[in-house]
Homo-oligomer: A and B are copies of this chain.
Amino acid sequence: MNKPYHHGDLRTAMLAAAEAILDREGIGALTLRAAAREADVTHTAPRHHFGDLTGLLTELAASGFVRLRTRLLAEAEMAEPNPQSRLLALGRGYVAFARAHPGLLQLMLRSERLDWSSPALSTAATTAFELLTDGEPEAGGQADPRGFSTLVLALTRLSLVHGLTTLLLDGRVEAMAAKVPSVEAEALIEGVLMRLVQRDILDPQV
């Protein structure tokens, strides 16, 4: 029952503790001391592993992007193997991830407390976003030169899904749904995603 002097894997434990706080109390409550408290460790101990608070948050955000990507990949995998179904699955996956980890997503997307010069973070973020961005990773791939139109299409999709997610987290979707009786937020979200898929046409030409 006695706690050994050394933790064993404080690095992992701190990341888990920080995420627990994020999910439970939101991004405002996530401080170095709070995370150390959660991990049942002196608040100076994490310094050996992360340097400072920014280091901890940056690693946590990077891990978030990796997991987001994994989840989106899995969703796309399970969808019917056509572009429309795949895009729809990606959109749903993005929204679902946001609902499951609202605090983490906030840290990843809107935090000014991250060190974006960290290669781990920036490549994790870029890689994750590229999923929503690439039409068909197998088909197009490296060969396809990413022209202006492709980039516009990518940014359009990302904007729509990301904006929808943000509005959802901020309670705006609920507010809109409440204006018309018998309309559920859930149905609204599904409606927007369907519209994305149908109007998108997956065509880089404008």
Which A residues are within 8 Å of any B CB, using their own CB?
Answer: 26, 28, 106, 109-110, 112, 116, 126, 129, 133, 146-149, 151-156, 158-167, 170-173, 175-177, 179-180, 183, 187-188, 191-192, 194-196, 198-201, 206
Q: Which of B175, B180, B200 contacts A146 (CB 8 A)?
A: B180
The number of times this chain is found in the oligomer is 2
Residues of B within 8 A of A200 (CB): 199
Q: How far is the CB of A168 from chain B (nearest CB, A)?
A: 9
Q: How far is the CA of A171 from the CA of B153 in the complex (A)?
A: 18
Known: A110-B170, A163-B164, A183-B148. A155 touches B206 (CB 8 A): no
Give the shortest distance, in Å, between A198 (CB) and chain B (any CB).
Answer: 7
Q: How far is the CA of A110 from the CA of B74 in the complex (A)?
A: 30
Question: Is the beta-carbon distance between A152 and B28 smaller than 8 angstroms?
Answer: no
5 smallest CB-CB distances across A and B, nearest first, come from A163-B163, A152-B191, A159-B163, A159-B164, A162-B163
- Considering only CB atoms, which chain B residue lies closest to A201 in the complex? B199
Does A188 lie within 8 Å of B155, measured CB to CB? Answer: yes
Please indicate which of the listed interface residues A110, A177, A192 has the most CB atoms of chain B within 10 Å of its own CB.
A192
Closest Cβ of chain B to A163, distance in Å, is: 2
Residues of B close to A206: CB separation below 8 A: 191, 194-195, 198
Bound CA–CA A28/B109 (angstroms): 16
Whether A167 and B162, one on each chain, are in contact in the complex, defined by CB atoms closer than 8 angstroms, is yes
- A175→B155 CA distance, assembly (Å): 11
Contacts known (A126-B175, A161-B163, A167-B162); A195 close to B156, Cβ less than 8 A: yes
CB distance from A195 to the nearest CB of B (A): 5
Distance (whole angstroms) from the CB of A72 to the closest CB of chain B: 17
